[in-house]
């Protein structure tokens, strides 16, 4: 199994990369070379998904990646009318266009061997919507549509495609997004039924399960890992 985890420099991606190292050969990508080297992965490719990703596309083909975890993402908390075109394009490029393109480069090898696993890390904001995060929410919602359609296309090749939608996760990105919002950490905690933030390791372990043969019947699904946040109040 040749696994690629995007956005593995820190947070959820780093937890996923470490969790999967006893499953197969793990490769990682991100913007921080020093952090990638510290992952102790089989290899890495330095790449900014908001820019030129052709080098990463070639890396996927060269390494025969058959498990792709699209984790990298970017978040902006702002009213839509205050955002410029560069910010809008960067978020869609990083959160939706790049994952779609990377999947397109992994599919040929997966089809050839008639096996593959694609996991997209979405967000509960893509399920429920989040005020002042419209571009982020819509880009993550797009991953769900991509997942469902590709699951249908690829099912006959024994390739599964799923999305995991984390809620508030105890990561640097998660905590920074709280600071950017108008709510305090306690106010946000009060909206979560389990009164806690999800741990990155929980997402990593779910990825590990979805890769396994025990999960071969799970495809086209959008799985909310959110401590109950999506259920209601």
Listing from the earlier edge strand, what are the strands of the sheet with 43-46? 43-46, 25-30, 2-6, 67-70, 116-121, 159-166, 222-225
Distances in Å between the alpha carbon of 228 and those of 156, 167, 193? 33, 9, 5
Q: Hey, which residues does 117 pair with through a beta bridge?
A: 67, 160
Using DSSP, state whether 226 is helix, strand or coil.
coil
Catalytic residue among 27, 75, 92, 136: 136
| Exposure letters 171-183 (e unless 16+ CB within 10 A, then b) | beebeebbeebee
- Strands 43-46 and 25-30 come out as parallel
Using DSSP, state whether 103 is helix, strand or coil.
helix
Active site residue 136: yes
DSSP class of residue 63 equals: T
Residue 5 backbone phi and psi in degrees, to 5: -115, 120
Largest CA distance in the chain: 50
So which residues are the catalytic ones? 136
């Amino acid at each position: 199994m040749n696994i690629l985890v995007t956005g593995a420099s820190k947070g959820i991606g780093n937890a996923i990369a470490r969790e999967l190292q006893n499953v197969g050969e793990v490769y990682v990508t991100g913007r921080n070379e020093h952090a990638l080297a510290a992952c102790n992965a089989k290899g890495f490719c330095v790449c900014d998904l908001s820019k030129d990703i052709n080098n990463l596309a070639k890396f996927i083909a060269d390494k025969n990646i058959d498990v792709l975890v699209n984790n990298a993402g970017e978040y902006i908390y702002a009213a839509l009318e205050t955002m410029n075109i560069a910010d809008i394009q960067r978020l869609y490029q990083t959160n939706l266009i790049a994952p779609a393109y990377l999947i397109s480069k992994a599919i040929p090898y997966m089809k050839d061997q008639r096996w593959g696993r694609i996991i997209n890390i979405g967000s509960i904001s893509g399920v429920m919507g989040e005020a002042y995060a419209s571009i982020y929410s819509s880009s993550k919602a797009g991953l769900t549509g991509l997942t469902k359609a590709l699951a249908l296309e690829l099912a006959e090749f024994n390739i599964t495609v799923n999305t995991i939608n984390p809620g508030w996760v105890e990561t640097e990105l998660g905590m920074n997004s709280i600071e950017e919002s108008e709510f305090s950490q306690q106010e946000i905690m009060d909206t979560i039924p389990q009164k806690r933030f999800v741990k990155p390791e929980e997402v990593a372990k779910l990825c590990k399960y979805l890769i396994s043969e025990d999960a071969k019947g799970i495809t086209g699904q959008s799985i909310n890992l959110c401590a109950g946040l999506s259920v209601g109040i």
